[in-house]
Structure 1
Amino acid sequence: MDLISRSMILPSWRSSHGRKEIDSCQLYDIIREVVISKSMEENLVFRLEEGCGLNSPVTTRHLSVSNDWNGDESEFESTVDLSRVRSLTIFGNWRPFFISDKMRLLRVLDLENTSGLVDHHLKHIGKLFHLRYLSLRGCHGIYHLPGSLGNLRQLQTLDVRGTNIIKLPKTIFKLRKLQHVCARGVGSNDECIYQEYPYGVRKLMRNKLCILTSSLAGFCVACYAPQLLKETMGIDGDTNRRDVCTTCCCSYLPRLATRRSPHGVVVPRGIHRLRALHTLGVVNISRRKATLREVARLTGLRKLGVTGVDEGNSGELCLALSKLSSLETLLVQSEGKSGLFECLDGLASPPKNLENLKLYGNLVELPAWSGRLENLAKLKLRSSRIEKHDAAIQILGSLPNLAILCLGKESFKGEQVHLHFQQGAFQTLMVLELSSPGKLKSVCFDKGAARKLELLQYYEQPKAEVISEEDDDQFEQAPSVWLFSGLASLGSLKEVVLKGDNYKGDFVRNLRSQLESNPRRPVLKME
């Protein structure tokens, strides 16, 4: 804040998912130039970019390769003294020579969103014995982690979110200093997947044996002709036959054989040995219930995400959660129509330090213990299909520290969903996000409700059907003109954000009118 007050940096973005007033900042051009100049003088950071040819190798601890640099291996090794590099960050396309045998002291390897990176490029990753941080986040060409990962005995953070990894290697239990395992399997955890087949799929094609047989035939062709099916299978980078075979055997085939949710990763036996773990998730527990018994022994966990919850493993889950007294962040996800219904009722006493809770799946009603979450600051619901709307809002409104409430797709069930924020409720709420929470008909704020609310964000997902221009009811699915009421009484409101374009003019005008009546004159933004 001191740098902002001195006008040295500029606040650039505020997230609706953060409690901090400022989540990121932006440097002025002149300040950026000064920072780069000073970092080069002190040999702290060197940015390898187009046109930076030097007469002698640069000695630096932190190397960043820009996406516009197109040099070759000889230029790479002649420009930087690789033996002194402690941190390497790659932007843009991957080159096989970026990881060199000379980088014996490398501690940080950040390959987030690097394109062209595939499995065989990580073959020798186990030689970087001093590595403490490894990020493969957003590398879609990664389907499998090599067993040599177990050689990285100093590793503290492993981030494989946004990859196609669905199973962690067996050697991971050797990493006794590991503190953070960040994974989520295939796709986003904000997606909801059901087990039913689409209408119109022939019964024969739903047969498991038929699916496996046809898939195996396709995989065999892929292994013998990797380049032919590279684009079809969506594999990125300089792919060889081994990469394609690994992709088929470690990702596609297990998902087809089990028909399980692709969300989350399967952890091997022995995960309980990683006593230093603070972050673990998202873990798919649908295949091995014993995983929960091992997780229960990780009493130092602060962040945990699990998916694949059902009535068969819900008892073990509740037992594990009751033992994780240090837990601060929890994600629980389930797929299909049954979802989380009655799966969390067996938890007699939730973790007392829980601050962030995400529940994805069919709940029908909030768990009985949800009203006792005294330290809960953020709650996100999605596909929960809660039937008793008023009771749920009343429980949430009484939570003493709730600052952020996100009601995602189908949070409520019913032909008419009315959300009533009563006087004295939600006294600590600062951010309210409504993203297609159900068939919403009204959102009413009484005077004295949500006194600290600063940001209201609304999004209504449009229907997929195409409606003709002559149809008088073409805007039937658009929000009602009077959807929101009481905005003028929200004394701390600063901003209302409408996402999407499914809004009638009268609806927007009504919103503007309410905001103009508010003494603080909140801003209306449309994204």
Structure 2
Amino acid sequence: MAEGVVALLILKLGLALGRETSILGAKKLFHEATALSRLFQGIREVKEELEGMQSFLRGAERFKDTDETTANFIKKIRDLAFEIEDIVDEFTYMLEDRSHGALASKIVKRIKHIKAWRHLASKLEYIKLKIESADRRKVRYDMRGISSVAGNIDDCSTSSGNFAREEDLVGIGKNGELLTHWLKNNLEQQRSIITTVWGMGGVGKTTLVAYVYYAVKTEFDAAGWVTVSKSYLIEDLLKQIIRGFINNDPQEDLYNHIDFSTMRITNLIEHIRNYLHGKRYVLILDDVWAVDVWFKIRAAFPSDSTGRFVITSRIHEVALLATGNCIIQLEPLGPQHSWELFCKEAFWKNEEKVCPPELEIVAQKLLDRCSGLPIAIACLGRLLSFKEPSYDVWENLYKDVQSQLTNNVILDINVVLKVSLEELPHDLKNCFLHCTMFPEDYLMPRKRLVRHWLTAGFIRETSNKTMEDVANDYLHKLVNRSLLQVVERNRNGEVHTCRMHDIIRILGLAKSEEECFCRVYDGSRAFVAEGTRRLSIQSSNVNQLSQSGAPHLRHLYIFGSGLSIDSLTPFLKSFNLLSSLDLQGVNMKSLPHVVFKLYNLRFLGLRDTYIEIIPRSIGRLRHLEFLDAWNTKLTTLPEDIVQLQKLRYLNVYTIPEEADRKVVFFGGIRVPTGIVQLTSLQTLQLVEANTETVRHLGSLTQLRSFAVSKVRNEHCVDLCNAIMKMRHLVHLEITGIDEKEILLLEALRLPPSLSKLSLGGQLCGKSLSHLIFSLKRTNNLTRLTLIFSKLRDDSFSCLLNLHSLYVLHLFKAYEGKTLYFDATSFPKLKRLSIWDAPWLNKVDIEQGAMPNLVKLVLRDIPKLKTLPTGIEHLRLLEELELRDTSEDLIDKLRQKEPPIGCEAPKRIDHIKRVSIYGTQKNVKENIGRLQISNEQVLEEPSSTQLANIHL
């Protein structure tokens, strides 16, 4: 990780040097200017030295675990990089500090800082000498001697231990049968079929494939197994393939005498094709890391033969090489199979392989730490099998695992994770290690991760992508490498929340601490934060958290609503150089004054707190880029917010306590007119409209996400003109001052980039038709929410032309009596919600309409007495929710034996889950094929739940 630390530092040094002209160009005391010039010269020289060393570090990282000297060198460089970062951040801090206060105070600070500039310059010169000394010593390292050792690292995870005996296998079951079927099916046809097996490291891919391979290889004329390294060479891979086939063919004499070691690619391909000509063969390509492996070798396999290929990988893109649907994604074992595997490993010396009753409780606690990961269970079981089978011994081991004081349990797994980690570029590796700062089993929202990564400097903008786009790509790469697990996706298929497997997290934490990346305080033992760069507090008990100071801390994340900010205030006083402070969920109504002395702060998270006011001193945080105050008690922002010229993200959504529980209605907050000066803003939501602000919003041309509330019709012309200048807009929300307000939006032409649109207010026919025409041209809109729109039959028909929609919400927006969906309407729509339509009594769905609809919600429609006509055509519909429709419809669907001639239940028989809610009769039922239950009335969703639906 030294390379990652140095890369981030080089970027920071470049930013510091970028201020040289402006600082030295200002009027200064002679001695101050001299001292600053010397300091900038030192920064420049150190930057050049580190840039020259960066490529060496990239190679040295691979060998630090196999050579102690290399490891010590890397640690030395990392420590020196941290020292340099401290100097640069202290310099930045003092520059901001001297700019505050009265004139006399500023002069005193400038004179005082002259001595500081000289001191920092001297420290830089001394560090530079140490770097040069270390750089001279590195020539003594013979990397060639180490590489032969390191070359075997990749193969450690695929040792002979993975080829288990059949009686020791657990959980193979259906996957084994399926893989066997794909390999043996239609062998008489001359056709190649690729099957892929993928999942996180240690989940049992190789074990599964090995079991099937040895069971079916006799069905083929030729069989081979090749393990593909990350840094493979195509010649070497082809040589392994031909040798693999030959070594499994005892009757082959001709090829056994051929020397393949010096052959070129063309000759190797020719020999493989000749050998496989007319044969039925199976080839296993184990642990493939890149898609291009297949495309580079496929020419070697003849088309006049029957080939079966099995590829195992941790990478999702590789899995997509499969023919048709021949993909198996392996998941962690369930409780029963986990216990069975554990007992086989822990008690392999006993014929019964049964856990003694007195050990079952502690064994289960240990097993829970493995979360179903076969390699973790196997390693744990093997360790315990050589320990005394007593409760005290096992309990002590469990305590060690809990406190992470030993890694004996995870030695073998560490090799697996090591291979996965070392393949990652340093920026992506930083993003992965950052995820270990979240609590165990924590659902990590994609947007929160992205904001943290951006603040930490892990993401760099490319020529054709924003930093947010790059961060999203990084998240997908971590998911595709099985280092993160997707818990929920949004309606567009993007990751919404993810989590880290417990075993992966434990190993990641160990790696983070080893690399001085971050530490976690959970309240279980005394903790000194000194020397820590990143700290995650996951306990409301901070009594054991030393307040001796942590001047090196850059990032502080707090989890848990039980923690009071008062208990942290003394601790915060020593964090002068802090750049990220995330207080989400902390029980506080105001921010301590010390926060506004954190002049290096780039991220301030106040989400889900009780903050009522942000003081004017917020203007001191000149480097702030992210201010997240979603769901707080704020009603206004101070004038000084306009001094935050680097601010990119400002989210100040509020959810009023008196919010309509049927329709989500957010409150905005008042912002100063000068907010339009913050031209770096990419997110601004949710702010109250006023005449002066709306008139100048067009200056915010970088906005990607914009939400405005309390819009009056007299604002609409200026608002439309401003929005049309926002060429990068992806998410737009406009809400009127109340449900009677008419939004005059006929002049609005929406940008092609727009993906999500929410409108709250009455729409005249002209406004709606112009908007729909504008949206149809973009063909990118995937989510549309309309509130209070007063749509009728004719105006609703305009929406049917939005063929790109995935989600459509109509909240108190439809006033017609019938809804008609023709055969061509909404071909991609997956979710449709219609709430509070008081006159609607009939819904017609023509065959062919909404062919991909998955969920349909009809709520607060008292006159709807029948199911939608044509609902039986929605063959992909999985969920139907009916809430407070007519009592007649509810009664028909609730009856266990409907009256003769009533076809309603049969028309929805294909739907997996049908939920009926009748609050007047205290009815809630789930009917359908999955579950049938009678429960009490369902409580109304909270405002926060409604907010999530709306957003």
| TM-score (normalizing by structure 1) | 0.72
- Which residue of 719, 737, 740 corresponds with 1:317? 719
Distance (whole Å) between structure 2 residues aligned to residue 190 and residue 490 of structure 1: 34
After superposition, give the CA deviation of every residue in 1:219-267 in whole Å (9 maximum; x if it has no partner). xxxxxxxxxxxxxxxxxxxxxxxxxxxxxxxxxxxxxxxxxx9921222
Aligned to 1:432: 832
| Secondary structure of the structure 2 residue equivalent to 1:23 | strand
Alignment CA distance shift 1:322-1:28 (3 Å): closer
Question: Are the equivalent residues in 1 in contact too, given 2:789–2:813 (CA < 8 A)?
Answer: yes
Distance (whole Å) between structure 2 residues aligned to residue 353 and residue 135 of structure 1: 28
Matches for 1:24-423 after TM superposition, within 5 Å: 24-54=497-527, 57=529, 59-67=531-539, 69-72=540-543, 75-77=545-547, 81=550, 83-92=552-561, 93-99=563-569, 100-115=572-587, 117-119=588-590, 121-140=591-610, 142-185=611-654, 187=656, 191=660, 263-285=667-689, 288-339=690-741, 341-347=742-748, 349-365=749-765, 367-372=768-773, 373=775, 374=778, 375-386=780-791, 388-389=792-793, 391-408=794-811, 410-414=812-816, 416=817, 418-423=818-823
Distance (whole Å) between structure 2 residues aligned to residue 342 and residue 24 of structure 1: 35
Question: Are the equivalent residues in 2 in contact too, given 1:166–1:262 (CA < 8 A)?
Answer: no
Alignment CA distance shift 1:394-1:2 (3 Å): farther
Aligned to 1:208: none
Question: Are the equivalent residues in 2 in contact too, given 1:381–1:407 (CA < 8 A)?
Answer: yes
Distance (whole Å) between structure 1 residues aligned to residue 677 and residue 516 of structure 2: 39
Distance (whole Å) between structure 1 residues aligned to residue 725 and residue 503 of structure 2: 52
The letter for the 1-side match of 2:592 is L
Distance (whole Å) between structure 1 residues aligned to residue 667 and residue 694 of structure 2: 17
Question: Are the equivalent residues in 2 in contact too, given 1:456–1:496 (CA < 8 A)?
Answer: yes
Alignment CA distance shift 1:191-1:49 (3 Å): same
Alignment CA distance shift 1:102-1:20 (3 Å): same
| Secondary structure of the structure 2 residue equivalent to 1:126 | helix
Question: Are the equivalent residues in 2 in contact too, given 1:143–1:164 (CA < 8 A)?
Answer: yes
Distance (whole Å) between structure 2 residues aligned to residue 438 and residue 456 of structure 1: 21
| Secondary structure of the structure 1 residue equivalent to 2:564 | coil
Question: Are the equivalent residues in 2 in contact too, given 1:411–1:438 (CA < 8 A)?
Answer: no
Deviation at 1:179, TM superposition (A): 0.7
| Secondary structure of the structure 2 residue equivalent to 1:12 | strand
Question: Are the equivalent residues in 1 in contact too, given 2:782–2:807 (CA < 8 A)?
Answer: yes
Distance (whole Å) between structure 1 residues aligned to residue 752 and residue 495 of structure 2: 27
Matches for 1:460-475 after TM superposition, within 5 Å: 460-461=859-860
Q: Could you list the runs of 5+ residues in structure 1 that have no partner in the other structure?
A: 195-260, 463-476
Deviation at 1:511, TM superposition (A): 6.6
Alignment CA distance shift 1:97-1:319 (3 Å): same
Alignment CA distance shift 1:394-1:66 (3 Å): same
After superposition, give the CA deviation of every residue in 1:98-144 in whole Å (9 maximum; x if it has no partner). 251221222221112212x122x33232211121111211212x221
Q: Could you list the runs of 5+ residues in structure 2 that have no partner in the other structure?
A: 1-197, 201-315, 317-328, 332-481, 896-902, 916-925, 927-937, 939-951
Alignment CA distance shift 1:12-1:511 (3 Å): farther
Aligned to 2:234: none
The letter for the 1-side match of 2:744 is C
1:458 has 2:838 as partner: no
| Secondary structure of the structure 1 residue equivalent to 2:880 | strand
Distance (whole Å) between structure 2 residues aligned to residue 14 and residue 457 of structure 1: 18
After superposition, give the CA deviation of every residue in 1:279-305 in whole Å (9 maximum; x if it has no partner). 1121211xx301012211111112111
Deviation at 1:358, TM superposition (A): 0.4
Distance (whole Å) between structure 2 residues aligned to residue 46 and residue 511 of structure 1: 59
1:12 has 2:487 as partner: yes
Alignment CA distance shift 1:76-1:508 (3 Å): farther
Deviation at 1:52, TM superposition (A): 2.8
After superposition, give the CA deviation of every residue in 1:422-463 in whole Å (9 maximum; x if it has no partner). 10111121221223344332332211111222x22415249x
The letter for the 1-side match of 2:542 is G
After superposition, give the CA deviation of every residue in 1:501-527 in whole Å (9 maximum; x if it has no partner). 98825236777533434xxx5444557
Deviation at 1:146, TM superposition (A): 1.3
Question: Are the equivalent residues in 1 in contact too, given 2:803–2:825 (CA < 8 A)?
Answer: no
Distance (whole Å) between structure 2 residues aligned to residue 293 and residue 193 of structure 1: 33
Q: Relative to structure 2, which stretch is displaced further, 311-320 or 295-304? A: 311-320
Larger of the two Rg values belongs to structure: 2
Question: Which gives a bigger RCO, structure 1 or 2 (Cα 8 Å, sep 6+)?
Answer: 1
Question: Are the equivalent residues in 2 in contact too, given 1:355–1:377 (CA < 8 A)?
Answer: yes
Q: Relative to structure 2, which stretch is displaced further, 167-176 or 178-187? A: 178-187
| Secondary structure of the structure 2 residue equivalent to 1:63 | strand
1:483 has 2:867 as partner: yes
Q: Relative to structure 2, which stretch is displaced further, 3-12 or 317-326? A: 3-12
Deviation at 1:22, TM superposition (A): 4.8
The share of aligned pairs that are identical, in percent, is 25
The letter for the 2-side match of 1:320 is A
The letter for the 1-side match of 2:656 is G
Question: Are the equivalent residues in 1 in contact too, given 2:596–2:620 (CA < 8 A)?
Answer: yes
Question: Are the equivalent residues in 2 in contact too, given 1:393–1:421 (CA < 8 A)?
Answer: no
| Secondary structure of the structure 2 residue equivalent to 1:172 | helix
The letter for the 1-side match of 2:770 is W
Deviation at 1:479, TM superposition (A): 5.0
Question: Are the equivalent residues in 1 in contact too, given 2:720–2:745 (CA < 8 A)?
Answer: yes
Deviation at 1:393, TM superposition (A): 3.2
Alignment CA distance shift 1:492-1:171 (3 Å): same
Alignment CA distance shift 1:171-1:439 (3 Å): same
The letter for the 1-side match of 2:751 is P
Distance (whole Å) between structure 2 residues aligned to residue 88 and residue 182 of structure 1: 19
1:506 has 2:906 as partner: no
- The number of residues matched between the two structures is 424
Alignment CA distance shift 1:297-1:404 (3 Å): same
Aligned to 1:209: none
Alignment CA distance shift 1:275-1:344 (3 Å): same
The letter for the 1-side match of 2:598 is L
The letter for the 1-side match of 2:892 is D
The letter for the 2-side match of 1:458 is V
After superposition, give the CA deviation of every residue in 1:149-194 in whole Å (9 maximum; x if it has no partner). 1111111111112112122111111111111111124528974999
Deviation at 1:380, TM superposition (A): 0.2
The letter for the 1-side match of 2:695 is R
The letter for the 2-side match of 1:393 is F
Aligned to 1:23: 496
| Secondary structure of the structure 1 residue equivalent to 2:841 | strand
RMSD: 3.2
Alignment CA distance shift 1:2-1:357 (3 Å): farther
Deviation at 1:483, TM superposition (A): 2.7
